[in-house]
Amino acid sequence: MMMAGPCSVESEDQLRTIARELKKSGVKILRGGAYKPRTSPYAFQGLEVEGLKILRKVADEFDMLVVTELMSPDVLDEFETYVDIIQIGARNMQNFSLLKALGKSTKPILLKRGMAATIQEWLMSAEYIMAYGNDDVILCERGIRTYETYTRNTLDISSVLAVKELSHLPVIIDPSHAAGRWNMIESLSLASLAVGAHGLIVEVHHDPEHAMSDGAQSLKPKKYAEMAIKLDKVSKVLDKKLV
């Protein structure tokens, strides 16, 4: 399952331009940040509720679902209204008050692995959501922090194998945040498919040089389309070998 879209919702026109191209490549789930937790308080923080409304409007135009990040239970009601899949970012993986609130949500939860979390800690965070009543949890490996600085994070691709051994939950990979470099995304995506990930969440922007956030790790729509074709071909080869 492919999830794709810009790091941040910047405007309705921006999101529509990107979504139109992604739809041509078969994307069914549109990603985009309305609430943007940034390391710097001076960086773009997102359009908040207005961003949620734009996501819903554009996704409905192209018959897509919406996945976006929730920061606080204070706006959970708005997410229940406008969002199809609620994403919990790496920094909130062990925000247990938030996880408990999500246990009462009617929406599937996409739970990203914390930047320094063990696999066991990640699974226990998922257990918090399920223990409070919501069994619809998707795990997302987005790379962990190591001593390496060339990439944004270090993609722990073996975590997919571990999760499939230890849990029944689906697990996807975010190659964009793992690498922090657009030119690595395709190869990491192909590796994710080969190792058995259930899906990918990829950042795509039509003008990454002028993106308000994470432009360096965003694919242009044309490059994403080329990658989608390769993923489809590799998927068919893998299916044949497994028969």
Q: Map residue 78 onto helix, strand or coil.
A: helix
Q: How many CB atoms lie within 10 A of CB 76?
A: 18
Yes or no: say if 215 and 18 are a contact pair by the CB < 8 Å rule: no
Whether pLDDT at 151 is above 60: yes
Cα–Cα distances in angstroms (integers) from residue 121 to residues 163, 194, 205, in the given order: 12, 25, 33
Beta-carbon contacts of 6 under 8 Å, excluding residues fewer than 6 positions away, are 14, 15, 18, 31, 32, 33, 203, 204, 205, 211, 218
Is the pLDDT score of 241 beyond 80?
no
The confidence score (pLDDT) of residue 124 equals: 98
Q: SS3 for 173-214, per residue? A: ECHHHHHCCHHHHHHHHHHHHHHCCCEEEEEECCCHHHCCCC
Q: What integer pLDDT is reported at residue 38 of this predicted model?
A: 75
d(CA 142, CA 115): 8
pLDDT given at position 44: 84
Q: What are phi and psi of 237, to 5 degrees?
A: -65, -45
pLDDT at residue 42, rounded to an integer: 83
CA distance to 86, 88, 114, 139, per residue, from 170 (Å): 15, 15, 17, 6
For 196-238, the pLDDT digits (tens) are 999 999 999 999 999 999 999 999 999 999 999 999 999 999 8
Percent of the chain whose pLDDT exceeds 90: 93
DSSP state of 42: T
Band the pLDDT of 4: cuts 50, 70, 90. very high
pLDDT of residue 243 exceeding 50? no
Fold of 2-242: TIM Barrel (3.20.20)
d(CA 174, CA 118): 17
Condensed to tens digits (0 to 9), the pLDDT of residues 104-114 reads 999 999 999 99
The residue whose two tokens read 């002028």 is 210
Q: Which residue bears the tokens 């943007």? A: 36
Residue 59: count of CB within 10 angstroms of its CB: 24
pLDDT band at 45 (very low <50, low <70, confident <90, very high): confident
pLDDT tens for 72-129 read 999 999 999 999 999 999 999 999 999 999 999 999 999 999 999 999 999 999 999 9
pTM of the model: 0.95
218's tokens: 């965003």
| Per-residue confidence band for 36, with pLDDT thresholds at 50, 70 and 90 | confident
- Mean of pLDDT values over 59-84: 97
